[in-house]
Amino acid sequence: MTLSSANYRKIGLALRWIVIFMFLLSAFSKLYPNTVDFTKQLVDLGIVNWCKAPLLARLAISLEFFLAFALMQRNYLRRVVIPATIALLVFFCIHLLIQMSIHGAFAGNCGCFGNLLPMSPFAAFVKNLVAIGLLALLWKKRELIGEEKNNYHVLLWLLSGTTAIVFMASPYAPCKTNPAPVVMENQVEIIPTSNKIVEPVATNTKSSVKADSATLKNRIVEKAPLPKSSRFAPYNNFGGKVVTVDNGKKIICQFVPGCDHCQHVGKLLVTLAKKEKLPPMYIIFMDEEAEKIPTFFKIIGASFPYQLMDPATFFGTLKVPNTPGVTYLWNGNERYNSAGAEKDSFQTQAFLKAVKTVQ
């Protein structure tokens, strides 16, 4: 039984959509919620430095979106689009083979689908081989595609359109030699999320003293450490004011404005600050997605003095190169440090134990 031309084209369209879905998912996962993880991966692999990585990351995402949409149409599909897609997948396969030979076939997340769908290098390699096989079949059998069209303007519009959309969805600022801190007007340390006025409650003085004594017994009594210079000492301009970060107790947070985990830790700290007496808190934001800083403060329910830092310096000052980062300093000595959303993530009890020491 022979298939009609219409049936061949339906099969070809189904095969194309398998590859289209792969590319759309890959591009979207690198773009959402932000491009930070993908950008950092390009730097970690030694492909480019932090100044060029944000640009390259967005161009790569644009290319993936472009190929996905280009596979949906038939202009230069067999002569240009399919060979270009195969070439890109072959490049990815070579890269994965190198990574597997160095780190192992099942070590870590290859980053093909970002953190949305973690995938080992071996799984990604097999996925790419399947995609190459489907595209090769489409390229070899003309009847699966049907009549090819020759309007190259469609491809140019798709390329320019996808690139423009990606850069609008994820704007970035080129590297600056000395990034100037952003001054935020009327900064306060805690913004109440409720309009209720809390009335003072009268307490028995003797019982209060006993309660305070009991609380002090449960706390760790520790002598103030000798002053030292911390890794944050050179970066002391927060909200347009110079802050001596290595003098006394300070909490330094390193956040990416659009990072869900950073927002979560920020909310935890604000909640703790309303219940406990915490040292002053200052935030270092990576300058990607700086336009989302007001939204970040709105989400966590508080506003703090902050400064912007370029990606290279930002990740250079993180002890574990993942966000969110929280460091508690006492005279420049690190008494607590957390970074990332996994094993080194922020732990409320450990943080409070470190902060609630008595001189």
Give the residue from 115, 142, 169 where a domain finishes. 169
- CA-CA distance, 336 to 137, in Å (whole number)? 57
Has residue 178 been placed in a domain? Answer: no
Has residue 18 been placed in a domain? Answer: yes
Three-state DSSP state, 359: coil
C-alpha 114 chain-centroid distance = 10
pLDDT in tens, 32-86: 877 887 887 787 777 777 778 889 999 999 999 999 999 999 999 999 999 999 9
The tokens 């997340």 sit on which residue? 109
Give the residue from 115, 143, 169 where a domain finishes. 169
pLDDT in tens, 247-267: 999 999 999 888 888 999 999
Please give the pLDDT value at position 194.
Answer: 36
Please give the pLDDT value at position 219.
Answer: 54
Mean per-residue pLDDT, 318-323 = 76
Residues 6+ apart with CB under 8 A from 137: 15, 144
Q: Is the dihedral of CA 162, 164, 165, 169 positive or negative?
A: positive
Has residue 187 been placed in a domain? Answer: no
Has residue 247 been placed in a domain? Answer: yes
Tokens of 44: 């970690």
CATH number for the domain harbouring residue 255: 3.40.30.10
Compute, in degrees rounded to 10, the torsion defined by CA atoms 205, 206, 208, 209: 120
Has residue 201 been placed in a domain? Answer: no
Has residue 105 been placed in a domain? Answer: yes
Q: What domain range is 160 assigned to?
A: 5-169
Confidence band of 281 (pLDDT split at 50, 70, 90): very high
Q: Are residues 163 and 19 in the same domain?
A: yes
pTM (global) more than 0.85: no
Q: Are residues 156 and 17 in the same domain?
A: yes
Q: How many domains does the chain have?
A: 2
Has residue 209 been placed in a domain? Answer: no
281: which strand partners? 251
Buried b (16+ CB within 10 A) or exposed e, 145-162: bbeeeeeeebbeebbeeb
- In the predicted model, is pLDDT for residue 27 greater than 90? yes
Three-state DSSP state, 238: strand
Has residue 229 been placed in a domain? Answer: yes
Q: Are residues 219 and 73 in the same domain?
A: no
Q: In which region does residue 104 sit, left (phi positive, over 0), alpha (psi from -120 to 50) or beta (all else)?
A: left
The tokens 């003309």 sit on which residue? 142
Q: Are residues 26 and 123 in the same domain?
A: yes
